[in-house]
Structure 1
Amino acid sequence: MSQHNRRTFLQLTGTAIGAATLGAGTATASTSDSRFFINLRDVDRSEVPDDIEIIHDLSQADVLVARGDQERVNGTTVADRVIDRGDDRTGAVKSRDGPTTDGKGSSHNHDGPPKNSEFQWDKRIQDLNNELTDKPGGGKSIHDTATGAGTRVAVVDSGVYDAHPDLAGVVNDDLSENVSEDEFDFRPNGAGDHGTHVAGIIAATNSNDGPDGGVLGTAPDTEIVAYRMFSGQEGKQGDGYAGWVKAAEADCDVINYSVGFPAPFVYVDEYPFLTEELRIAEQVAEYVRSQGTVIVNSAGNDSLNMSPENTLSIPTEAEGVFGVAATGPIGCGWGGKHSDNEAKWLTGNRLEDPTDSPAFYTNYGSAVDVSAAGGDFDTEAEVEEAQRDLVYSTVFETDESGDTVPAYGWKAGTSMAAPQVAGAAALVRSLRPDASVEEIESLIQDTASSAPGGETYHGAGHLDLERLVKRVK
């Protein structure tokens, strides 16, 4: 069965695989107990009762995140929402563990097991760096022109494990912050390694000096500011918006927000509160953009057409949010005599689907601004190497002694596509420090390449770093 047919089957049956990892619990966007948003464009601040607790004062955006009796506030309010990441993978459709950072050695390039960076098809196909290319003589790479120096990217997510060797010195520990209500710092606290994987896609430095080397991000010289909004398995949308505002006021050039409402919390007829949730998202986005910060958001993993009027995917469809759909290959390094020949994984006719083909789980439609590499997988394949079609990046795991250790792993999802674009935005801002939010977004869209499925799945097109840096420099 082809990927297209699998997509059609999912739509016709109403199945929403992207709402959770296969085999894991379903994601939800339930009411956050007594927490709610107050829209100060409809409510006079002086009339908010004194016994209403203000969790986050986002009055820059005319928004308060509050706790208490919502009915005591006269005017427009709407409940805050909980995004339940379960075992951390609601942000990734598929996850596979990889090796720890002290791997036991392997030969380089098509003469034995691949090194870590050779699993990075998403970076290799973009000619990111000559360390990753198989071109004779190397040629000019993206990093010969820009590496993100002088920029700052916020990762509003499950926290970032900054002890990973490929993230050492990348995370600004002073600015990074826990925006949830628990008492811990910005590092992961129960919601897994999703944010760490995202951070590596953006800014990993390939600094691991182990025998298998490390992995490389799109903008390895950018600075990551981590805002942890997930406490345990749950993240509250209001905490995410607080992270947006803090990021803008910390002079972050870009926010990566690989978070959103999953299905069925996208149907306005069934959930009319979504229209007020949209207003809140747009007000916060308006303020963030006014500070010069781009908001990049994953489009979602429900195989959902976001175009119909009765469908509203938040925050992707909010004005001012840059939505990213996912693509990925099928067949990268699969079996046969070339499975250990990394130079040929992405060449010739070895791929069933090319790297810019829509991932079967990705949301699509009018809210997509561009697509980028998020990974794909064949649900019917019984091939050990099938994990290579996912995106490979930094993660962590717990060893036999219960200690947290750095590692590498594969994930697929629009969560992995968004940071490809966030990293690209950092490259643009590093080359044009005075570029406006609108200019950065337009440059990414105007240089995007055509791809299978057209505008429906890719918006303006598929992220093309080579065309982008040529246009910007």
Structure 2
Amino acid sequence: MAGYNRRSFLKLSGTALGGIAVGSSVTAAASTERFLVDTAKTSQSEVESAGLEVVHDLHEINVLVVKGSESDVESLGIDYAADSAYSLDLPIERESPITAEDASDEPAYPIQWDKQAQNIPEAHEITRGEETRVSVIDTGVAAGHPDLEHAVNEELSQDFTGDGYGAAGPYGGYHGTHVAGIVAADDQNDAGVVGSAPGTEIVDCRVFSPSSLASFADILAAIVYSVRIGSDAANLSLGAYPSTRKGQGKFYGKVLNRTTTYANNQGTVIVVAAGNDGADLQHDGNVVSLPAEAANVISVSATGPIGFNWGGEGLESPTYTPAKYTNYGTNAVDIGAPGGNYDAEFPAGWYYDMVFNTVAMPNFDDEGNYLGATYDYSWIAGTSMAAPQVAGAAALVRSQNPGLNANEVRQTLENSADEVDEFDKAYYSSGVLNPYAALK
């Protein structure tokens, strides 16, 4: 098998057919009119009296997101930080080698190596995730996709961006629909693909606009909202790396840890993509990956085969092989899960090593008016695809044992994970996700 240096691999990933959906993001800009303020030493009335407009009331974590001038925020004499925008690094080319018609004519389970590796059909004999709820904090979930229309709760779905497009649609891109399909794609419609927990309910918490920008404040608001509506798990296939631990980054870390700890204490399992920078998060200096290294989250690395379904005998690398792009780190990653792999030097068919699931491409006119979506299926790879495997598994565990708290769900998934001796433990920590074993 051809060798790759991680950095050179990332340069190739943006133009791959099917595409690498990068789970980590980069800071785009600091806002000059939106701020996060710590209200531990003030009140909402005092904030409003200073001439500031409250955008998100996150009283559960003693935070308000406000809009106004920085001088008015400074006049309060409290801790604050400017909101920041992040760009989700999506593939430039995303032409699927298989079409929706091909996928819907016959069930696509035979090419879903990720579900096969997790023994999902056997897990469904125990539970399909009924009576649970998973929030997908992402670019938007297409409620009209044939494989998701059974699952998306449009009434509870929320748009946190304020861009006017609404929720339960792929307004920020196809990414969120792929993530949601991995969690809950319909297993009983004799078409398309299978999700890990097709009996769960999906709530779309959209934090990305068509411009692919998301704000730190909106992400926090979506996590708090997920707790308010009783989500059993919240999936965040997003993040920022590297983030400094100093200055404004220190404030972000403090508020983020407060948010994720609150969610965990209230029973919502927070699942986060570890990121696709090929970085050792344990030994990367005074920087941090957010929210992957936040307190009380399950940080997920990506695994994937090389050589699946190519017609030859055996795989070049098994399904639990660490993906070439995945971040890792002994105390930074909690579990590995199928996210897809990639080797461009192999012949046609390399895309089978990625994760095949639902996508929805939004269509806009020249004035930005939404014209609807094109529903399809595609191969994509990334820790973005690994995280929802874990979120779906969390729904299965909670469905079987509704009385478990968030820590107990996490412990169940980690204690039942498959240990891997062939590769460094830093890629997996507790091991590779095994939902069927978790239920047994």
Q: 1:51 to 1:324 in 2, by over 3 A?
A: same
- The equivalent residue for 2:339 is 374
Instruction: Compute the displacement of 1:20 (Å).
Output: 5.7
* Structure 2 CA distance for partners of 1:361 and 1:275, relative to 1, 3 Å: same
Partner of 2:287, secondary structure, is: coil
Query: Normalization by structure 2: what TM-score?
Result: 0.88
Partner of 1:144: 125
Quote the residue 2:389 is aligned against. 420
Aligned amino acid, residue 224 of structure 2: V
Aligned to 2:375: 406
| CA contact 2:88–2:238 (8 Å) conserved in 1 | no
> Does the 8 Å contact 1:19/1:301 carry over to 2?
no
* TM-superposition CA deviations, 1:79-104 (whole Å, max 9, x none): 21211126x449xxx85525444338
From the superposition, tell whether residues 243 and 380 of structure 1 become closer, same or farther in structure 2 (CA, over 3 Å).
same
Instruction: Report the identity percentage.
Output: 36
- Confirm or deny that 1:81 pairs with 2:84: yes
Assess, with a 3 A threshold, how the Cα gap between structure 1 residues 76 and 214 changes in structure 2: closer, same or farther. Answer: same
Corresponding residue to 1:440 among 409, 413, 417:
409
For residue 296 of structure 1, the aligned residue among 271, 274, 299 is 271
Contact 1:17 1:302 in 2 (8 A): no
> Letter of the aligned partner of 1:416 in structure 2?
M
Larger displacement relative to structure 2 (17-26 or 365-374) = 17-26
The correspondence of residues 144-223 of structure 1 with structure 2, limited to 5 A, is: 144-188=125-169, 190-209=171-190, 213-223=191-201
SS at match of 2:397: helix
Q: Which amino acid aligns with 2:177?
A: T
Q: CA deviation at 1:391?
A: 0.3
3-state secondary structure, aligned to 1:219: coil
Q: CA deviation at 1:184?
A: 2.1
**Partner of 1:345 in structure 2?**
none
Counterpart for residue 231 of structure 1: 209
Task: Give aligned pairs, total.
Answer: 422
Aligned residue for 2:368? none
User: Please, which of 327, 334, 343 is the counterpart of residue 303 of structure 2?
Assistant: 327
Farther-moved stretch of structure 1 (227-236 vs 182-191): 182-191
Q: Give the one of 236, 239, 243 matched to 1:266.
A: 243
Alignment map for 1:302-313 (pairs within 5 Å): 302-308=277-283, 309-313=285-289
C-alpha offsets along residues 418-438 of structure 1, whole Å, 9 cap, x if unaligned? Answer: 000000000110011010111
SS in 2 for 1:97: coil
Q: Which amino acid aligns with 1:273?
A: Q
**TM-score (structure 1 length as normaliser):** 0.82
Kindly tell me: are residues 377 and 42 of structure 1, through their superposed partners in 2, closer, same or farther at Cα, counting changes over 3 Å? farther
Structure 1 segments unaligned to the other structure (5+ residues): 109-114, 130-140, 340-348
Deviation at 1:367, TM superposition (A): 1.2
Contact 2:197 2:393 survives alignment (8 Å): yes
- CA offsets 1:91-126 (integer angstroms, 9 cap, x no match): xxx8552544433887x7xxxxxx522110000122
Are the structure 2 counterparts of residues 287 and 205 from structure 1 closer, same or farther at C-alpha, using a change threshold of 3 Å? same
Deviation at 1:189, TM superposition (A): 5.3
Change (3 A) 1:198 1:18: farther
Letter in 1 for 2:343: D
Q: Which amino acid aligns with 2:384?
A: S
Give the Cα separation in 2 of the matches to 1:427 and 1:316: 22
Structure 2: give runs of 5+ residues left out of the alignment.
366-370
